[in-house]
Amino acid sequence: MALVEYGFKCTNKGCKNYQKAFTDLLDRDGDHKSKCPLCGNPAQRVYSLAGFTFAFRAGFDVGLGRNVNSEAERQNILAEEGIRQIKC
């Protein structure tokens, strides 16, 4: 079993966690369903194309699904694909 971290957000308007993102470790081959840790209601999956990076490291970029050799190359791929990187 391979566990993968997926992003979710609570959809219960009465919950303190409403529309806030959280992560859950789930089986890669499973149904990818999660519940809010506060209220227990089903959560909506949040999809991210570029992923989060704190520093560039050459190699396979999981968010892009391909190998990149430099930050400049990564930025060019993002621009060509029309993917906008979210800065936190």
Residue 87 has a pLDDT of 62
Residue 30's pLDDT is what?
Answer: 76
The candidate with the shortest Cα–Cα distance to 39, out of 16, 69, 72, is 16
Tokens 């369903």 — which residue? Answer: 33
Q: Are residues 13 and 41 in the same domain?
A: yes
pLDDT at site 56: 59
> Which residue range(s) make up the domain with 29?
3-46
The residues of the chain scoring below 50 in pLDDT are 53
Q: Is there a single domain that holds both residue 64 and residue 42?
A: no
Could you identify the residue written with the tokens 């209601």? 41
* Straight-line distance from the first to the last Cα atom of the chain, in angstroms, rounded to the nearest whole number: 31
Beta bridge partners of 21: 9
- Is the same domain home to 7 and 42? yes
For residue 56, what are its two tokens?
A: 């560039």
- Same domain membership, residue 68 and residue 38: no
Query: What's the pLDDT score for residue 84?
Result: 75
